[in-house]
Amino acid sequence: GDGGGSGRKKPNILITGTPGTGKTTTSSLLADAAQLRHINVGDLVKQKNLHDGWDEDLQCHVVDEDLVCDELEDMMEEGGNIVDYHGCDFFPERWFDCVVVLRTDNPILYDRLSNRGYTGSKLSNNIECEIFQVLLEEAKASYPENIVVALQSDSIEDMSKNVETLVDWVRRWSPAS
Ligand code: ADP
Ligand code: MN
């Protein structure tokens, strides 16, 4: 990455993927290892009330995407952030130097989401989301091809390798001159 002339001294990374693929765990490890700020968008939405209520069908908050972007703008301009969210099409393209899409094999994802207490349509919707590669397609449609990377996240070994790969990438990244 060349920083795209953004003026950032540290890169911004988006970690996206279907719920349960390991975004929060991976982001947290990467934030520690590469000294970046971990922004869990779901938590931020709850803490700062960046939503318009609760969607009963989908069993989740109706996120106010404009409020989320306003809230993040200054930090993103500064750089050095890991944004952790199960969506990626409403952030400004200019924010990110790297977009990581985590992927998990279905039986493994099924177990993780069941353990999290997901059942019924909430469980099957998320499993379908992974089968149809919704987040990968969304990332490819929203960001330049050369900054989007899909990483498998089935095992602890996968996670360690992914963190290592990303730490290396952060170390090699330099701002555009
Ligand atoms: P997300 O933030 O994408 O919803 P989490 O990071 O909360 O996912 O992970 C969901 C669960 O799956 C957690 O219990 C986590 O420890 C486990 N997990 C995530 N990624 C992996 C992995 N690559 N290998 C083994 N367990 C994982
Ligand atoms: Mn999470």
pLDDT of residue 67: 97
Q: Which architecture characterizes domain 10-169 according to CATH?
A: 3-Layer(aba) Sandwich (3.40)
| pLDDT of amino acid 64 | 97
Please report, as a single letter, which amino acid is at residue 96.
F
Give the residue whose CA is nearest to atom 17 of ligand 1: 22
The helix or strand, by DSSP H or E, that contains position 114, with its residue range, turns out to be: helix 106-115
Tens-binned pLDDT, residue by residue, of the chain (177 aa): 444 568 899 999 999 999 999 999 999 999 999 999 999 999 999 999 999 999 888 778 899 999 999 999 999 999 999 999 999 999 999 999 999 999 999 999 999 999 999 999 999 999 999 999 999 999 999 999 999 999 999 999 999 999 999 999 999 999 874
Ligand 1, atom 18, residue with closest C-alpha: 22
Most informative mutation of 15, 25, 29, 116 for ligand 1 (most atoms within 8 A of CB): 25
pLDDT at 60: 84
Query: Which residue, by CA, sits nearest to atom 5 of ligand 1?
Result: 22
Quick one: pLDDT at residue 4? 53
pLDDT recorded at residue 81? 98
27 lines ligand 1 (CB under 6 A): no
Nearest CA to ligand 1 atom 16: 25
Closest Cα to atom 14, ligand 1: which residue?
A: 112
The complex scores an ipTM of 0.99
Cα(166) to ligand 2 centroid in Å equals 18
pLDDT given for residue 1 in this prediction: 45
Give the position, in ligand 1's atom list, of the atom nearest the Cα of 155. 24
Ligand closest to 28 (CA) is 1
Q: What is the 177 CA–ligand 2 centroid distance (Å)?
A: 35
Is-contact 24 85, C-beta < 8 A?
Answer: no
For residue 28 and ligand 1, the question of a CB distance below 6 A is answered with no
Q: What is the pLDDT of residue 6?
A: 80
Closest CA relative to residue 100, chosen from 66, 69, 58, 135: 135
How would you class 53 by CB atoms within 10 Å of its CB: exposed for 0-12, middle for 13-18, buried for 19 or more? exposed
15 has which bridge partners? Answer: 84, 100
- The reported pLDDT for the residue numbered 5 is 63
